[in-house]
Amino acid sequence: MNLPNQFLAQRKLETLVENQTSYTLDQAALHVFETHQNADKVLLQFDQPVLASMITGKKVMHLREDESFTFLPGESLILPSKELMCIDFPEATVDTPTRCLAMAIDEEKIHKVIDFMNEDMSKCDSKTWGILDYNFHFTNDQGIYQILQRLIYLFAENHPSKELFVNNMLEELIVRVMQTNSRQMHLDNSSKNATQSRLAHVIEFIKSNLHQSISLKQLSNMACMSESNFRKVFRHEMGMSPVDFINTERLQKAAKMLRNPNYSIKEVFIECGFENRSYFNRLFKRMHKHSPLEFQQRGTSIIH
């Protein structure tokens, strides 16, 4: 994520630890925090729900007595209002500052978007969209990354229609984060919920059968839905098509296998259910920014 020239020209560095630059609108505020020296146990709190997203550097977040984790670029975190954060900055320096975006959103705005989702974006098994799962820590997908990048630009821009532009982007951001949260909850709990939820049953089947061919007809039959309705409900609840979800799971499995140098590229793409190596190479590079061979040779996780 990049900070636009408008931001860099306008901001003032007044402190080396959590220097704050803020832009405030009626229903949201964007804050960029910059830390230029090592620091520990810095406290931070917001009056509204917040999406925090790392731009550069590294933080160690302490949210409760028993919850600590490393926060890295490309990752985001959803926090409720009044959540007290205790933050360490183990690597911040003048030349390599830690920068983090915090998007505070009015709760009424969030509830309005959720009401819209319940009217127009039905979930499986007649379930409804609820409030965000706070303290949800996730890796930004391309859609969320692009929205956050655009929001930084819009907040820093002096445009007469800024409020309208930002509100439209915030609505999309809330929907995408809700879908990301729903997708992760299904992935984490599919085994436990497979006998109670049609979608969980389908997801558990996909996770267990990535090595073989999986058709939309097969999945829709398992969910007791028509193909068109299954595709629509799946996209609403998971934020992607069934085919894209299957490919994402296969590519993540492939990345894990490629970290083991004992597997050949051919063994990996066959075990992950890809019949065509060139198709596998193309999809893998699109997701991981490196070819399967380059990824395997690096031998480490690729952060993007």
Q: Can you give the pLDDT at residue 65?
A: 66
**Eight-state DSSP code of residue 18:** S
Q: Can you give the pLDDT at residue 125?
A: 80
Q: Does 300 score more than 70 pLDDT?
A: no
pLDDT band at 301 (very low <50, low <70, confident <90, very high): very low
Are 18 and 44 in contact by the 8 Å Cβ rule? The answer is yes
Taking the model in full, what pTM does it have? 0.86
What element of type H or E holds 23? strand 19-24
Taking the C-alpha atoms of residue 268 and residue 279, their distance in angstroms, rounded to an integer, is 13
Q: Can you give the pLDDT at residue 100?
A: 96
- Cα angle at 149 between 247 and 137, to 5 degrees? 60
- Summarize pLDDT for 216-254 with one digit per residue, the tens: 999 999 999 999 999 999 999 999 999 999 999 999 999
| CATH superfamily for domain 198-298 | Homeodomain-like (1.10.10.60)
What CATH number does the domain located at 1-188 have?
2.60.120.280
Q: Across 4-18, 85-99, 133-147, 289-303, which has the greatest mean pLDDT?
A: 85-99
Q: Specify the domain boundaries for CATH 1.10.10.60 within the chain.
A: 198-298
DSSP assignment of 95-121: SS-EEEEEEEE-HHHHHHHHHHHHHHS
The mean per-residue pLDDT over the stretch 28-50 comes to: 94
Q: Specify the domain boundaries for CATH 2.60.120.280 within the chain.
A: 1-188
Taking the C-alpha atoms of residue 215 and residue 209, their distance in angstroms, rounded to an integer, is 11
Percent of residues in the chain assigned helix, strand, coil, to nearest 5? 45, 20, 35
Are 47 and 81 in contact by the 8 Å Cβ rule? The answer is yes
